[in-house]
Amino acid sequence: APFVPGVGEVDLIVEGVLVVELDGYGFHSDRATFRGDRRRDRSSLRVGMPTARFAFEDADPDRVLREITPICRALRQHPLDPGRTVPRATLALLAEARSAWTGPGRGRRAGVT
């Protein structure tokens, strides 16, 4: 599974700019998990990779692709800068995660379409 520094394993990293999480109710229905997911989203945002969450029932590939394509386009044009508060070692790991992205688009590296 793809890994984002400070966040952990994620479902997908798309085009090196967006984390996509597919949440089934069975694993995301209690308060602790709900809060943890929001903390992970904020951590991901702090390192410059926002998260798009989809309920498992909404995770049809055509819908996901249709919704994330304009997000990825905007992030490629105006990438989020993690700034000076992120440690250099974390930035290096993040660069590695971005280069090993999974998902649709130019330079596809995984079997996700």
Burial call 72-94: b when 16+ CB within 10 Å, e when fewer: beebeeeeeebeeebeeebbebb
pLDDT, tens digit (0-9, with 9 covering 90-100), for 47-89: 888 999 999 899 899 999 999 999 998 988 887 777 677 777 7
The Cα–Cα gap between 95 and 43 comes to: 16
pLDDT, tens digit (0-9, with 9 covering 90-100), for 41-58: 999 988 888 999 999 899
pTM: 0.76
